[in-house]
Homo-oligomer: A and B are copies of this chain.
Amino acid sequence: MMAIRSPQPAPAQNPAVTVDVLVFTIREDALQVALIKRGIEPFKGSWAIPGGFVLPHESLEEAAAREVREEAGVTDVFLEQLYTFGRPDRDPRCRTITVAYYALVPSVHIHLSASTDAAEASWFPVKRLPPLAFDHADILQTALERLKSKLEYSSIAYALLPERFRLSELQKVYEVILDRKLDKRNFRKRILSLDLLEATDQVDAGGAHRPARLYRFKERRIVSFD
């Protein structure tokens, strides 16, 4: 069976396409996200997820990686496409479709840079966010859900930690993302049984207490379990 439908012509003007990147890290025992304060209208003075146009020669992922590099000065970070947001009215200026990515950077000193159309850049704990521009609150919510669910069945946590870490640091990553306390014995039993980690022969240079053994991920890449 065959029928003819009316064609949809190419629109007179294409929508603008941007890539927005949520850069997450763990700081001060909290999950934090990098935001910029907008220096131009619309939403001048509001905080927003950093992003920019996709250039003609680059892929979406390359555009996202460039954004992370410009924003946080880091390369080789975990970067994954999140979702594409395209409500017709999401940008009052013109039709804009944004492909959102999220990046995970290790909890070390990350130097945020403000871009030209941003007055300021800063980390915010995801539990204490300022009002966000555009539909960025939706995007952030989507990212937090993805992060929680991926943490449960994959090894993404490696991307938030330095190469060597204490098991208690790894547990803290799980706790701040899942937003609940975990039992130490059960956590260690489960995480070690996954066979993703190996103990190193080093211990940390901690404080006035028993030093902890340092572990590392056997592979510093995403592995799914379950």
Contacts and interface: CB of A to CB of B under 8 A. Distances in A.
Chain A interface residue number, banded: 35 or more
A4 B116 CA distance: 6
A117 B3 CA distance: 12
Interface in A84-120: 84, 86-88, 95, 97, 99, 111-117, 120
Interface centre among A2, A11, A84 (most CB of B within 10 A): A84
A112 B1 contact: yes
A46 to B, nearest CB: 18
Contact of A84 (B5, B87, B99, B116): B99
Interface stretch (A53-61, A190-198, A215-223): A53-61
A52 interface: yes
A150 to B, nearest CB: 12
A81 interface: yes
A7 interface: yes
A175 interface: no
B59 A8 contact: no
